[in-house]
Amino acid sequence: MYPLRRNRRLRTNESIRSLVRETIINPNDFIVPLFVVDGKGVKEEIASMPNYYRLSLDMLQKEAKELWKLGLKSVLLFVKVDDKLKDNSGKEALNPDGLMQRAIKTVKNAVPEMIVMTDVAMDPYSSFGHDGIVSEGKILNDDTNAVLAEMSLSHAKAGADVVAPSDMMDGRIFEIRTLLEDEGFCNTAIMSYSAKYASAFYGPFRDALDSAPVDKKDIPKDKKTYQMDYANREEAIRETLMDIDEGADIVMVKPGLCYLDIVREIKDTVNVPVAVYQVSGEYAMIKAAAEKGWLDHDAVMLEQITAIKRAGASLIASYFAKDVVKLIN
């Protein structure tokens, strides 16, 4: 009697495979990142992100409605800020009539039930392309936190449901939570980029927002003094537990595919939802290989998204969200 167990029995055909499948992707898994620009009727393709666009507010409104029809229930807003409005203080980020604040209202007006998440970070507003105030070649931690808290409050006032600080300063979740509570925004959630690595996969995103660190004397050329060293695992747990203590409702690991060991470990350690950001470089790689005919776009896309969820993601921020949902619907 050999063998008693034949694992292939449950792989015989698609029907049986689907009955025993452990990880199923559905529209509720996704957060849709959106890039917003000023102007009218603007839908500009991002060179290093084929089929992904910068949208003006009128186009954003259309997009939000379309996403909602597809069953996608959350967006994560990023803004591309005019160079003239950039400085070293993040002043424009606090403008109640700024692009982000108008974008939040636009989505909420178009689809009131849509969960609006906002990027809280200084880099799109920074003349140096950094996520903090720069002084004497250093990124100031505590002064930056004060701006991030005010920025979060400003987004909450404009109607954001979730603020998502993506900077990696120490203690910013506490500062943000405290100010939101003090100002009566006790229901505004915080999704913290808790384990965000200093990654080369962010390149296309920085093209999209024109937000890369500038190449100037005495300005750090990278973000390695605040984003995490990709060689580290224990530090990711420490960062994440601290953010939860400070009041984060959702924690995040970023990027996705290269960091699934971290995702699983965090998922097994914490009891809050874990989000994963499949970043711009991961998107660009699949697009480029598919364009060359070297990889099957849809198959690789679905395999990667499923792997991210299997690793423990409750939520996935992905530029493929719409493509995946169209494919599985």
Token pair in block for residue 130? 């950094």
Q: Which stretch binds ligand PBG (CB under 6 A): 23-31, 138-146, 181-189, 201-209?
A: 201-209
| Beta carbon of residue 76, minimum distance to ligand PBG (angstroms, whole number) | 9
Residue owning tokens 């960091």: 259
Q: Which stretch binds ligand PBG (CB under 6 A): 119-127, 178-186, 228-236, 300-308?
A: 119-127
Q: Does 103 bind ligand PBG (CB under 6 A)?
A: no
The answer to whether 159 and 104 are in contact (CB under 8 A) is yes
Which C-beta is closer to ligand PBG: that of 281 or that of 312?
281
Which helix (H) or strand (E) is 265 found in, with range? helix 260-269
Which C-beta is closer to ligand PBG: that of 110 or that of 225?
225
CB-based burial, 110-142: b 16+ in 10 Å, e otherwise: bbeebbbbbbbbbbbbbebbbbbbbeeeebbbe
Active site residue 62: no
| DSSP secondary structure of 46-102 | ETTEEEEEEE-HHHHHHHHHHHHHTT--EEEEEEPPPGGG-BSS-GGGG-TTSHHHH
CB-based burial, 13-30: b 16+ in 10 Å, e otherwise: eeeeeeeeeeeebebebb
Token pair in block for residue 256? 């996705």
| Beta carbon of residue 123, minimum distance to ligand PBG (angstroms, whole number) | 5
Q: Which of 31, 114, 121, 147 binds ligand PBG (CB under 6 A)?
A: 121
Site string for ligand PBG, 248-287 (x = CB under 6 A): -------------------------------xx-------
Q: Does 206 bind ligand PBG (CB under 6 A)?
A: yes
- Three-state DSSP at 244 gives helix
Which C-beta is closer to ligand PBG: that of 111 or that of 116?
116
Q: Does 320 bind ligand PBG (CB under 6 A)?
A: no
The answer to whether 29 and 313 are in contact (CB under 8 A) is yes
CA distances from 98 to 33, 103, 147, 154, 322 (A): 19, 9, 15, 10, 27
Which helix (H) or strand (E) is 253 found in, with range? strand 250-254
Q: Does 166 bind ligand PBG (CB under 6 A)?
A: yes
Which C-beta is closer to ligand PBG: that of 63 or that of 131?
131
Which C-beta is closer to ligand PBG: that of 189 or that of 228?
228
| Beta carbon of residue 227, minimum distance to ligand PBG (angstroms, whole number) | 6
The answer to whether 133 and 147 are in contact (CB under 8 A) is yes
| Beta carbon of residue 131, minimum distance to ligand PBG (angstroms, whole number) | 5
The answer to whether 25 and 43 are in contact (CB under 8 A) is no
Q: Which stretch binds ligand PBG (CB under 6 A): 34-42, 116-124, 138-146, 288-296?
A: 116-124
Active site residue 254: yes
Q: Which of 123, 161, 239, 265 binds ligand PBG (CB under 6 A)?
A: 123
* Number of residues binding to ligand PBG, judged by CB under 6 A: 12
Active-site residue, selected from the candidate residues 196, 287, 309, 322: 196
| Beta carbon of residue 271, minimum distance to ligand PBG (angstroms, whole number) | 26
| Beta carbon of residue 199, minimum distance to ligand PBG (angstroms, whole number) | 8
The answer to whether 56 and 41 are in contact (CB under 8 A) is yes
Q: Does 305 bind ligand PBG (CB under 6 A)?
A: no
Token pair in block for residue 216? 């100037």
Binding site for ligand PBG (CB under 6 A): 119, 121, 123, 131, 166-167, 202, 205-206, 223, 279-280
For the annotated catalytic residues, the residue numbers are 196, 254
